[in-house]
Structure 1
Amino acid sequence: MPLGPKPIVQFSATSRVVVIGQAPGRITHETGLAFDDKSGHRLAGWLGVSFDTLHDPARFAIVSMGFCYPGKASGGDKPPRPECAPTWHDRVWRELPEDRLTLLVGAYAQRAYLTETKALTMTARIERYREFLPRFIPLPHPAWRSALWMAKHPWFEADVLPELRRLVAERIGTA
């Protein structure tokens, strides 16, 4: 890890929505706050909550496939370190409510938790999101590239986001 270990995680015994991302980015590593960049603001908008609400551990757990910034690679950040999720996820899940909704943000989380769909593309998983309810919803990563992806897939904004917002509001008590 080029910037050294600095695990970034947020959760409490009352977190009923779990966000599983790829790994903290450089800015998150510097600030220590998960999704503390433009992607966090986009994610909060998708969820229908404020940026501050997204960072309320009483409502939202934010746990990545890799807990520390993995460094740069060509075209983005390196993949999450493979030992992190198997080492820590089960320990976190034991602390969370059973009736939680887990948002699988990006292909790494989707392949890990929707193992029967490994042959599918991320887009195909997201299109079939209803098959994974009430436990999971696959989502694209809210990085700047998602704007391009959303332009090619208008059904995401029309169909998935309203259902996502409804389910999140139910879980965090704002419905």
Structure 2
Amino acid sequence: MKQLLSEIRNCTVCKVHLPLGPRPIIEAASNSKIILISQAPGRIVHESGIAWADQSGKKLREWLGVDEATFYNTTNFAILPMGFCYPGKAKTGDAPPRKECAPLWHDDVLSELNNVKLTLLIGSYATAYYLPGEKNNLTHKANHYQEYLPTYWPLPHPSPVNRFWRAKNPWFEKNIVPELQKKIKEILARS
């Protein structure tokens, strides 16, 4: 796993497309229990080099019911974005993750993980990639998460840009988040 992570962190495959240059962000250990498959690092994360060290990460940790020490312990969580580098800005929020990363690296990383109990698919890019052929409606997937268990749990992205989605869908934080926290607590309690 260490060698693979080193290769990924040194990847420059799409450097010509990255406005701030490559800085692949990934965290994992062979015994990680929960995989977080998300979009791509934002500018703040790119600058710090620390996954989810921004407002999105703060909201995600709130949803999961974990503190920073628990979150950044790779025995608990593997962080595997769809795109490992900051893709730049778009009209609203960040640009989509680069399409090269997931096909190039995900299978190799996933094959090294031997203790996974749950994979959280965070946002539309992750859900579309890992649940192909499914109705590509993240609201439906988040509301019917039980259909994808025990392997996957689809979630909206916790970005501040999605605050309007959260306002329109209060059921998510009222009904789904407590169930998610319960599941996370149960998984993390196991050895």
Per the TM alignment, residue 52 of structure 1 is displaced from its structure 2 partner at its CA by: 2.6
Of 28, 31, 40, the residue aligned with 2:57 is 40
Q: Which deviates more, 120-129 or 141-150?
A: 141-150
Distance 2:188 2:160 in 1: 27
Instruction: Determine if contact 2:35/2:116 at 8 Å carries over to the other structure.
Output: no
Instruction: Give the AA of the match of 1:105.
Output: I
Per the TM alignment, residue 98 of structure 1 is displaced from its structure 2 partner at its CA by: 4.7
Instruction: Determine if contact 2:41/2:85 at 8 Å carries over to the other structure.
Output: yes
- SS of corresponding position for 2:129: helix
Q: Structure 1 residue 12 and structure 2 residue 29: aligned? A: yes
- SS of corresponding position for 1:68: coil
Q: Would you tell me which structure has more strand in proportion to its own residues? A: 1
Per the TM alignment, residue 65 of structure 1 is displaced from its structure 2 partner at its CA by: 0.3
Name structure 1 gaps, 5 residues minimum.
none
Q: Structure 1 residue 26 and structure 2 residue 43: aligned? A: yes
Give me the TM-score of the superposition, normalised by structure 2. Answer: 0.86
Of 150, 162, 170, the residue aligned with 1:134 is 150
2:185 aligned residue = 169
1:89 aligned residue = 106
1:65 aligned residue = 82
- SS of corresponding position for 1:72: coil
Q: Which deviates more, 148-157 or 64-73?
A: 148-157
Distance 2:29 2:118 in 1: 14
- SS of corresponding position for 1:87: helix
The number of residues matched between the two structures is: 174
Q: Deviations over 1:35-73 (max 9, x none)?
A: 110110110010010123211111100110000011111
Instruction: Give the AA of the match of 1:155.
Output: W
1:120 aligned residue = 136
Distance 1:18 1:98 in 2: 10
Q: Which deviates more, 127-136 or 93-102?
A: 93-102
Distance 1:100 1:66 in 2: 23
Instruction: Give the AA of the match of 1:48.
Output: G
Of 130, 145, 155, the residue aligned with 2:171 is 155
Name structure 2 gaps, 5 residues minimum.
1-17
Q: Label 1:147 to 1:37 Cα distance change in 2 as closer, same or farther (>3 A).
A: same
Per the TM alignment, residue 76 of structure 1 is displaced from its structure 2 partner at its CA by: 1.3
> Among the aligned pairs, what percent are the same residue?
49
Per the TM alignment, residue 158 of structure 1 is displaced from its structure 2 partner at its CA by: 2.3
Instruction: Determine if contact 2:36/2:79 at 8 Å carries over to the other structure.
Output: yes
Moved over 3 A (4+): none
Instruction: Determine if contact 2:39/2:97 at 8 Å carries over to the other structure.
Output: yes
Distance 1:40 1:99 in 2: 21
Distance 1:4 1:120 in 2: 31
2:11 aligned residue = none
